[in-house]
Structure 1
Amino acid sequence: MCGIVGIFDLQGGRQIDRNLLHRMNESQFHRGPVEGDLHLEPGLAFGHRRLSIIALEAGLQPLFNEDHTLALVFNGEIYNFRELRAELQGLGHVFRTPSDSETIVHAYEQWGEDCVNHLRGMFAFAIWDRPNQTLFLARDRLGIKPMHYALLPDGMFAFGSELKSLLTLPNLAREIDPLAVEEYFAYGYVPEPRTIFTGAKKLLPGHTLTLRVGKPVPASKQYWDVPFTAHAAMSEREMEAQLVERLREAVSSHLISDVPLGAFLSGGVDSSAVVAMMAGVSEGPVNTCSIAFNDPAFDESDYARQVAERYGTTHQCETVDKDDYGLVDTLAALYDEPYADSSAIPTYRVCQLARKRVTVALSGDGGDENFAGYRRHRMAMGENRVRSLLPLALRKPVFGVLGAVYPKADWAPRMFRAKTTFEALARDLTEGYFHGVSNTNDRLRSQLFSASFKTRLQGYRAVEVMRGYAANAPTDDPLSLVQYLDMKTYLPGDILTKVDRASMAHALEVRVPLLDHQFVEWVSGLPSNSKLRNGEGKHVFKKALQPFLGDDILYRKKQGFSIPLAAWLRGPLADTMRRAVLNPVLLDTGIFNPDFLKQMVDEHQSGAKDHGMTLWSVLMFDAFLRTNGASGAAAQASAAPVLATA
């Protein structure tokens, strides 16, 4: 696990400033505090910070092939490196180190750009192919590891694991992208491939990018997608047996390590399943860790303790204050761009705790995306069943009018919020799902943004991110479609970003066996009614795990890493929130309607309405501006094209 950076001269042959490369590399020191190195030659510069996990004495990068014609910088882990090594040795390749990194170099020698299809793991890497004057970038299939890049005005191309590495470059365009702002306030993060700045992008998951001297930067190329290819018919018992076998294999493949290894254990289904499988294949007790909250309403630690006791793990639990809101500026510095998932706070703390004992931790992330475990999946399918009774041409005018005239009732129980229901029924599945996951809905964003900013948006709406994916989805099954949308947006943009930055801030590697691509491919082919049945998500997953976990773990109400946002913004963060919405830096961006900002704060703090998610998004946007030195002038300087490109 590492941090990587690089600069490539698209014109070819120019010398690159070593001091500049050093600053880029050291900006990510936390990702690899063990050691670092730089490599420079005419037209190319690589930097690497290393957190040693495998081959502790032999993994220094940049790493070269035998004749030094290829150079690699790599962040991640290749879980099938031993099998690949044997295959490549059989084809005549000579290895100098026992590291997983070297398998990538020889795989590229053997298969060229197709090398990515031979790799099983989480990765972001760059290969300099000197004979062909080519730079090859790749990112893993699900987006577990990050890759940011920028084309600079002088014809240099730069990349880095985190956006902060690019922000050290003096000639990076730092104008705030209006479309990214629209997307951020809708989703709570900036989805790939965009970043908050017009001058930088993220490489999409499952994509590669090949650059050549003297050629323009091409579009990235997709090499993998979630297939959703149906399996041959099998009984439920066969399905459950195969699921356990494949889950056990995926977990086992993720246990390769030369440093202490453990697991997060929240007491939820997914992390408990991972720990149960680890216990079955590990020689000694599994190291597990969890955090407890001092408020029983937010505490799941008793469930984690039950699983730890059942499997005899070496368990570590620490209690944190539910009002642990002092990390706002810390998180803004970690994420480099606006990021509004408040569960980043407990995630930061559990990574901090885990690092006291282990260097590698397995997590249960990906279970909800694989097995339709989110409440919004159930709601989306319920709405879709009603939609299917009437054609869109009839639904849109009838329910659209009802939604427009019916009074809004945020205070009422959801079943009585008819306005929201009417509006949902007037939409198609993609737009309905987008509305269901939005932190700030279309109507609120329209009020939140200033008139001048809405003009600069040129009619662009964040739903276009999902529409783009839906148009190319490999499935027309409604449940599979919303799962696919999550895997393309929420999973890489929110969940995996959260865990990567929080863990690497503590020099901790987190692995996600439920997102092993072979496991994801197999699960995607299961019928939808095996995942969501009778309003219960994860149906087949829970049935398969019954021999391993009790019903009080499998069938309890889903809780997650929730924190009391609404209460914070009415209580201990009330003054902070008021200062943020009146902050000249925030107002000078020209993005916001100051009168509506103040109205939201007044309504929320009086208890008249719950604007918690939107206000938290504003608070984190303000923290981003302050922490990253973004100015109002930068925010107003650019109007980006309407549609994103890869």
Structure 2
Amino acid sequence: MCGIAGIFHLETAKPVDPARVRAMLDAMPHRGPDGSGIWTAPGVGLGHLRLSIIDLESGAQPMLTDDEALAVIFNGEIYNFAEVRAELEAKGHVFRTHSDTEVILHGYRQWGEECVHRFNGMFAFALFDARAQSLWLVRDRLGVKPLHYALLSDGSLIFGSELKSLLAHPLLRRAPDLSALEDYMAYGYVPDDACLVAGVRKLGAGETLRLVRGRPLPQPQRYWDVSFADRTKSSPQEQEEELVALMRQAVRSRMVADVPLGAFLSGGVDSSSVVALMAESSSQAVKTCTIGFDVAALDETAYADRIARRFATDHRSRIVSPDDYGLIDRLAFHFDEPFADASALPTFRVCELAREQVTVALSGDGADEAFAGYRRHRFQMQGERIRGLIPASIREPLFGMLGKYYPKADWAPRALRAKSTFLELAGSGGEAYAASVGVTPHALRQRLFTQEVKGRLGGYRAEDRYVKAMANAPARDALDRAQYADIKYWLPGDILTKTDRMSMAVSLEAREPLLDHRLVEFAARLPVSQRIRGNSGKYLLKKAMEPYLPQDILYRQKMGFVTPISAWFRGALAGEATAIAGGSALARTEWFDSAMLARIATDHRSGVADHGRLLWQLLMLDKSLTRLFGV
């Protein structure tokens, strides 16, 4: 796990100032506390920050071939590097190190760009080919590791692991992209196909970008995508056996490290499954950690303790207060772009706890997306059944009218919160799912934005990307389409961004075995009944883990990290809520209707309405603006 940054001149091989590459690295020292390196040649400069995991003595980067024809900088891990290395050695390649980085160099020399199909891992790397005068940028299949890039006025392309590394370059123009603002207000994060800084792009999950000097900037090429179009013909018993074998292989491959290794343990199905298979493969007690809250309704440490005892792990837990808003400025620094998933707060704390004893931690991330574990997946299936039973000519006006006049009741029991359900049933399945994954509905955004912003957006609507992705998904049914869109947008934009930034904030490498691409491909071929059955999501995963985990762990209601943000804005953060409407960086942009913002803050503080999530979203945007644009 590391940080990378670089500069490549597209037009002519102008000299690259190493000081500029150094400044880009210095903007993100947390990504590589164990060392750094810079290499330049005519027209190219590569920089690397190292968090040493594999081959501590000789794995330094940038790494070059003996003839200096190829140079690479690499962030991440290639878990099957030993197998790929053995194959290359059989073909006559001679290795100087024991690192997975060198496998990229030799793999490229042997297979060219096809080498990426042989790598199983999480990675973002840049490879310079001196003979071809090209730079090849690559990101892993699921988007675990980030990579940003931008074209500058001097004809150079700059790139880096984090946006802040690009911001360190003096020629990057800092202007906002209002379509990304619309995206953020819709989703609570800026998706991978957008950036709040105009002109900056993110290489997408499963994409490559080959730059050749003297040629225009091309479009990225996709080398991998998940398909839900096929169904497995194996029996349920065979599916269970194959799933456990794939999970076991994924976990074992991610336990290879030359530094202390452990796991996050929440006591839920996903992290408990990972720990169970780690314990099976380890000759020593697995190091696990969990955080709990001093509010009983939010605390899951008892479940984590049970799993720790069951598998005799070396377990540590720490109780933290849910009132952890003191981290807000630190979160804004590490995310760069605004990020409104409040579970980032406890995620930071559990990473901080893990880093006290280990350098690598395995997580349970990805199972909900791959195996349909979210409640919204079940709701989407149910909604599509209703849409299929009632003709659109009846359904749209009927549910549209009910949705319009039914009172909004966020405070009421779930069964009485029907307004959004009626509105979703009135529309298409894609529209309904786009609304269900959103944070601030389109109608509310229209009331929040000023006329000028709405005019500049020109009818652009953030939800359309979900609708389009679902319509074009390689899929058979509604659940397939919803999961495909989640893997394409929600997973890299929210879940993996959160884990990467919060783990790297404390120089910890997080690994996600349940996002092994072979496991994701297997899950996509499962019948719907093996993903969702009754009210249970992740059905096959739970069934397969019954020999390992207790029933009440497998089938208890999902909790997840919870933060009491609504209470904060009626207490310690009440002043922040007021400032959002006037005097803050956000207010100075004139993007939002100030009277509307003031009413939202007032109604929330008085208890007339619950706008806690929206206020948190606005606050995180406000915190990012000064860093990004000096507002």
TM-score by length of 2: 0.98
What does residue 638 of structure 1 align with? none
- Residue 343 of structure 1 pairs with residue 372 of structure 2: no
Instruction: Tell which deviates more after alignment, 108-117 or 389-398.
Output: 389-398
Cα offset for 1:412? 2.9
Cα offset for 1:489? 1.0
Task: Please state whether the residue corresponding to 2:289 is helix, strand or coil.
Answer: strand
Cα offset for 1:138? 0.3
What does residue 125 of structure 1 align with? 125
Structure 2 residues without counterparts, runs of 5 or longer: none
What does residue 304 of structure 1 align with? 304
Task: Please state whether the residue corresponding to 1:412 is helix, strand or coil.
Answer: coil
Query: Cα 1:375–1:630, aligned 2, differ >3 Å: closer, same or farther?
Result: farther
What does residue 429 of structure 1 align with? 429
1:350-365 paired onto structure 2 within 5 Å: 350-365=350-365
What does residue 61 of structure 1 align with? 61
Cα offset for 1:160? 0.2
What does residue 100 of structure 1 align with? 100
Task: Please state whether the residue corresponding to 2:284 is helix, strand or coil.
Answer: coil
What does residue 222 of structure 2 align with? 222
Aligned equivalents of 1:368, 1:315: Cα separation in 2: 25
What does residue 537 of structure 1 align with? 537
Instruction: Tell which deviates more after alignment, 569-578 or 60-69.
Output: 569-578
- Residue 251 of structure 1 pairs with residue 251 of structure 2: yes
What does residue 161 of structure 2 align with? 161
What does residue 396 of structure 1 align with? 396
What does residue 46 of structure 1 align with? 46
Write out per-residue CA displacement over residues 427-460 of structure 1, whole angstroms, 9 at most, x where no aligned residue. Answer: 1111101111111111111111111111111000
Aligned equivalents of 1:13, 1:133: Cα separation in 2: 9
Aligned equivalents of 2:536, 2:597: Cα separation in 1: 39
Counterpart residue identity of residue 616, structure 1 = W
What does residue 640 of structure 1 align with? none
Counterpart residue identity of residue 264, structure 2 = F
What does residue 147 of structure 1 align with? 147
Counterpart residue identity of residue 541, structure 1 = L
1:552-563 paired onto structure 2 within 5 Å: 552-563=552-563
Task: Please state whether the residue corresponding to 1:326 is helix, strand or coil.
Answer: helix
Task: Please state whether the residue corresponding to 1:455 is helix, strand or coil.
Answer: helix
Aligned equivalents of 1:599, 1:275: Cα separation in 2: 48
Task: Please state whether the residue corresponding to 1:106 is helix, strand or coil.
Answer: helix
What does residue 286 of structure 1 align with? 286
Instruction: Tell which deviates more after alignment, 95-104 or 602-611.
Output: 602-611
What does residue 601 of structure 1 align with? 601
Aligned equivalents of 2:593, 2:109: Cα separation in 1: 55
Aligned equivalents of 2:536, 2:131: Cα separation in 1: 56
Aligned equivalents of 1:400, 1:429: Cα separation in 2: 14
Write out per-residue CA displacement over residues 548-607 of structure 1, whole angstroms, 9 at most, x where no aligned residue. Answer: 110121111110011111111112211222123323421121210111111111111111
CA contact (8 A) 2:124 2:147 kept: yes
Task: Please state whether the residue corresponding to 2:123 is helix, strand or coil.
Answer: strand
CA contact (8 A) 1:230 1:527 kept: no
Aligned equivalents of 2:606, 2:194: Cα separation in 1: 37
Aligned equivalents of 2:300, 2:392: Cα separation in 1: 43
CA contact (8 A) 2:12 2:213 kept: yes
Cα offset for 1:387? 1.0
What does residue 582 of structure 1 align with? 582
CA contact (8 A) 1:22 1:38 kept: yes
CA contact (8 A) 1:207 1:220 kept: yes
Cα offset for 1:231? 4.3
Cα offset for 1:91? 1.5
Cα offset for 1:394? 4.1
Cα offset for 1:226? 0.8
Cα offset for 1:465? 1.8
What does residue 72 of structure 2 align with? 72
CA contact (8 A) 2:64 2:70 kept: yes
1:470-485 paired onto structure 2 within 5 Å: 470-485=470-485
What does residue 513 of structure 2 align with? 513
Counterpart residue identity of residue 350, structure 1 = V
Cα offset for 1:155? 0.7
Aligned equivalents of 1:409, 1:28: Cα separation in 2: 44
Counterpart residue identity of residue 496, structure 1 = L
Cα offset for 1:235? 2.6
Cα offset for 1:404? 2.7
Write out per-residue CA displacement over residues 434-491 of structure 1, whole angstroms, 9 at most, x where no aligned residue. Answer: 1111111111111111111111110000012213322431113111111111111111
CA contact (8 A) 1:28 1:165 kept: yes
What does residue 189 of structure 1 align with? 189
CA contact (8 A) 1:66 1:94 kept: no
CA contact (8 A) 2:581 2:595 kept: no
Query: Cα 1:118–1:252, aligned 2, differ >3 Å: closer, same or farther?
Result: same
1:418-457 paired onto structure 2 within 5 Å: 418-457=418-457
Query: Cα 1:584–1:28, aligned 2, differ >3 Å: closer, same or farther?
Result: closer
Query: Cα 1:393–1:129, aligned 2, differ >3 Å: closer, same or farther?
Result: farther
Aligned equivalents of 1:379, 1:443: Cα separation in 2: 22
CA contact (8 A) 1:392 1:428 kept: no
Aligned equivalents of 1:454, 1:135: Cα separation in 2: 39
What does residue 634 of structure 1 align with? none
Aligned equivalents of 1:202, 1:342: Cα separation in 2: 23
CA contact (8 A) 2:229 2:476 kept: no
Cα offset for 1:629? 4.4
Aligned equivalents of 1:553, 1:136: Cα separation in 2: 45
Task: Please state whether the residue corresponding to 2:48 is helix, strand or coil.
Answer: strand
Cα offset for 1:228? 2.2
Aligned equivalents of 1:310, 1:606: Cα separation in 2: 47
Task: Please state whether the residue corresponding to 1:327 is helix, strand or coil.
Answer: helix
Aligned equivalents of 1:588, 1:173: Cα separation in 2: 20
Cα offset for 1:88? 0.8
What does residue 410 of structure 2 align with? 410
Aligned equivalents of 1:231, 1:584: Cα separation in 2: 53
CA contact (8 A) 1:333 1:628 kept: no
What does residue 19 of structure 1 align with? 19
Aligned equivalents of 2:64, 2:398: Cα separation in 1: 65
Aligned equivalents of 1:518, 1:351: Cα separation in 2: 27
Aligned equivalents of 1:408, 1:140: Cα separation in 2: 42
CA contact (8 A) 2:88 2:106 kept: yes
CA contact (8 A) 2:72 2:125 kept: yes
CA contact (8 A) 2:228 2:476 kept: no
Cα offset for 1:623? 0.8
Aligned equivalents of 2:10, 2:578: Cα separation in 1: 47
CA contact (8 A) 2:71 2:129 kept: yes
CA contact (8 A) 1:38 1:46 kept: yes
Aligned equivalents of 1:572, 1:309: Cα separation in 2: 38
What does residue 2 of structure 1 align with? 2
Query: Cα 1:46–1:448, aligned 2, differ >3 Å: closer, same or farther?
Result: same
Aligned equivalents of 1:485, 1:243: Cα separation in 2: 23
1:308-319 paired onto structure 2 within 5 Å: 308-319=308-319
Aligned equivalents of 1:249, 1:7: Cα separation in 2: 38
Counterpart residue identity of residue 419, structure 1 = K
Aligned equivalents of 1:12, 1:392: Cα separation in 2: 58
- Residue 116 of structure 1 pairs with residue 139 of structure 2: no
Aligned equivalents of 1:134, 1:516: Cα separation in 2: 30
Cα offset for 1:546? 0.9
How many residues in Structure 1 have an aligned counterpart in Structure 2?
631
What does residue 91 of structure 1 align with? 91
Counterpart residue identity of residue 426, structure 1 = A
Cα offset for 1:335? 0.4
Aligned equivalents of 1:280, 1:492: Cα separation in 2: 30
CA contact (8 A) 2:430 2:471 kept: no
What does residue 570 of structure 2 align with? 570
CA contact (8 A) 1:370 1:520 kept: yes
What does residue 466 of structure 1 align with? 466
Structure 1 residues without counterparts, runs of 5 or longer: 632-646
Task: Please state whether the residue corresponding to 2:569 is helix, strand or coil.
Answer: helix
Aligned equivalents of 2:437, 2:159: Cα separation in 1: 31
Percent of aligned positions that are identical = 52
Cα offset for 1:64? 1.0
RMSD of equivalent CA atoms: 1.3
Write out per-residue CA displacement over residues 177-235 of structure 1, whole angstroms, 9 at most, x where no aligned residue. Answer: 10100000111100012111112111000000011111111110000011225344233
